[in-house]
Amino acid sequence: MNAAAHPQSVQPGTALSVGARQRRSLGRRMTLLMLLPSTLWFLLLLLMPLLIILVYSFGERSAVGGYAAGFTLDNYLNLGSRAAAFSNTLILAPLGTLVCLVAAYPLAYFLALKVSKNRSLLLTLVIVPFWTSFLIRTYAWIFLLSGKGIPALLASFGLEDVRLINTPWAVLIGIVYGYLPLMVFPIYVSLEKLDKRLLEASADLGASAFESFRRITLPLSAPGVITGVMLVFILLMGEFLIPAILGGGKVFFLGNALVDLFLQSRNWPFGSALAMTLVAMMLVIIGVYLKLVARYGGRPVDSGV
């Protein structure tokens, strides 16, 4: 398109060309001007805090807590003391994401391809829980998972003495409950855009339902799955509310370690080091994930379209 537009604007007389050039540089300035607010926003509110955290992470805890200037690697060398928090997070965040995906995909599929009436009502129902505070809803789970809730129900079926609250299972249930809508929506959007004629063509050419799903539906919904997985996984890595409330302080995430370091022991430098490590870890994990997606998941989508 550019190549076609170019000769037209340059070839005619010089006067016009200058005018066009001026117009173009004005356009460029407008673009810069329009980008300015978001650039400033990004620099001030995203990069600056990150830079401050980086500087703090090499400092020392002042005598009464908080930050004191200094240069030490001790904070990073001390990361091993939070090994349990790292392992809990690195097990439960991916596991939670996976369970969310397995639970969300059929729901999104149903909503996008099987429902014709009341679709917007059903979609609204998926987000209805968001209308009340997440804290309150998670508190409600305390009662559902505590002795008089689900375990009492199970006991009436003969399954005695099941303990749920303050175990990793309670945290996993809370995670799936809280994050399911975030997984459903991206997948729904990508399935909803799916061209149904492709499925008809596939059936006409003799593919079984499963074959059509595997070779058409699944690859075409990959962008939604990728987005959903990233959304849920990134948020889960920093989660602290669910483990704090449903884990009873016994299932400890990195987020909880961070909250404790900033609000209880007030060791800001160590907290900053932990936060930087978390950011670095996420960058690596997300980078590897996107690479893998590009290698194994990305191609079929590109060649399919």
> Minimum distance between the CB of residue 76 and other proteins, rounded to whole angstroms?
16
Task: Report yes or no: 108 and 116 within 8 Å, Cβ to Cβ.
Answer: no
Q: Which of 14, 38, 264, 303 binds other proteins (CB under 8 A)?
A: 264
Q: What percent of the residues of the chain are helix, what percent strand, and what percent coil, each to the nearest 5? A: 80, 0, 20
65 touching other proteins, by CB under 8 A: yes
Handedness of CA 215, 218, 224, 226 (dihedral sign): negative
Q: Please, which of residues 2-41 interact with other proteins by CB under 8 A?
A: none
CB under 8 A, 24+ apart: contacts of 140-146 = 141/170, 141/173, 141/174, 141/177, 141/245, 141/246, 142/245, 142/246, 145/170, 145/173, 145/246
At a CB cut-off of 8 Å and minimum separation 6, what does 245 contact?
Answer: 135, 138, 139, 141, 142, 174
User: Considering the rule CB under 8 A, would residue 56 count as an interface residue with other proteins?
Assistant: no
Could you say which residues in the range 154-183 bind other proteins, by CB under 8 A? 163, 165-166
User: Given candidates 82, 190, 225, 243, which one binds other proteins under the rule CB under 8 A?
Assistant: 82
> Would you say 191 and 217 are in contact if contact means Cβ atoms under 8 Å apart?
yes
Which of 257, 258, 276, 278 forms a contact with other proteins (CB under 8 A)?
257
Nearest to other proteins of 141, 177 (CB atom): 141
- Rounded Cα gap, residues 142 and 137, in angstroms: 9
Among 143, 153, 159, 296, binds other proteins (CB under 8 A): 143
Stretch of residues binding other proteins (CB under 8 A), selected from 68-76, 212-220, 256-264, 294-302: 256-264
Give yes or no for residue 77 binding other proteins (CB under 8 A): no
SS3 state at 158: coil
Contacts of residue 277, defined as CB under 8 A and 6 or more positions apart, other chains included, come to: 76, 79
Q: Does the footprint of other proteins cover residue 121 (CB under 8 A)?
A: no
Residue closer to other proteins, measured from CB, 212 or 256: 256
136 touches other proteins (CB under 8 A)? no
> What residues make contact with other proteins under the rule CB under 8 A?
61, 63-66, 81-85, 142-143, 146-148, 163, 165-166, 248-250, 252, 256-257, 260-267
